[in-house]
Amino acid sequence: MTVSRIDHVGITVSDLDRALGFYRDVLGLRVIADATVTEPEVAELLGLDSVQLRIADLDSGDGRIVELIQYVQPKGRRIAYESSDSATAHIAFTVDDLAALRDRLTSAGATMVSRQPITINEPGGAFDGAICFYVRDPDGVILELVQRRTD
């Protein structure tokens, strides 16, 4: 048995409404579910005694889900990190107009990680010609925005 694909990506957020303002309203992902979860089985899954979560599922555009999770109980804490720190990750989204999205992100007050977008020069490679840019979501999660070459 092997892994066949990424099923979904889960992101823990401090305030789901604020996160939806970013992922839905700025990035344009479509909300397909928004629910509160308290079942003991979910607490067991997470290795906790009890839990109250608010979870929103967003369609990433290709059927894969971005799951935003707010821990109402127990409350978590924010951990500051850089992309160079071990055990961290980033999520990359394909976008069709990086310049326009950067303008929207700037207007929304997003924290930019990249000083400027870069174009990957990797002849024959998977990213050849892609334009890439890093930004943080409202909770500090690092996102990579990738505009693929369309020739």
Q: Which fold has domain 91-147?
A: 2,3-Dihydroxybiphenyl 1,2-Dioxygenase; domain 1 (3.10.180)
Measure the CA–CA gap between 76 and 103, rounded to whole angstroms. 32
Q: Could you report the per-residue pLDDT of 41-68, keeping only the tens digit for each?
A: 999 999 999 999 999 999 998 889 999 9
Per domain, the residue ranges of the chain are 8-73, 91-147
Give the architecture-level CATH label for domain 8-73: Roll (3.10)
- When computed from its CA atoms, the radius of gyration of the chain, rounded to whole angstroms, is 17
pTM of the model: 0.91
Q: Could you report the per-residue pLDDT of 70-100, keeping only the tens digit for each?
A: 999 999 898 889 999 999 999 999 999 999 9
- Kindly give the pairing relationship between strand 65-73 and strand 8-13: parallel
Residue 63 DSSP label: S
